[in-house]
Structure 1
């Protein structure tokens, strides 16, 4: 996935902030992977040469989920 914008002939999107709450008693492994990724990766565009306009920064998850 990537953010569509001016390069695609669309107006720029406003900045968006995602908040994720989790149930500490949950047994959902995928939800925990997403939570920990978001918790430790606050600004994905800060850590590499890509911008939100042209970035391509997928979340890679190895292994299966039950």
Structure 2
């Protein structure tokens, strides 16, 4: 593989990432993860209840849900 060295293309200026923006991104990601976790918990519980109501053995539910 060849690397072309082009002196006529300027190096991009490094972007200074503001700490305030980083903090807001972390907070938003945390909130999104919490919401996803809550949805996943609700869905898994709903699926397990349905399987048990249909007569499935608890061990089978555990195995099928890979718990």
TM-score, shorter chain, exceeding 0.5: no
Q: Would you tell me which structure has more helix in proportion to its own residues?
A: 2
Higher relative contact order at CA 8 Å, sep ≥6: structure 1 or structure 2?
Answer: 1
Task: Pick the TM interval, shorter chain.
Answer: under 0.3
Q: What TM-score, normalized by structure 2, do the two folds share?
A: 0.27
- The structure with the largest alpha-carbon Rg is 2
Normalising by structure 1, what TM-score? Answer: 0.27
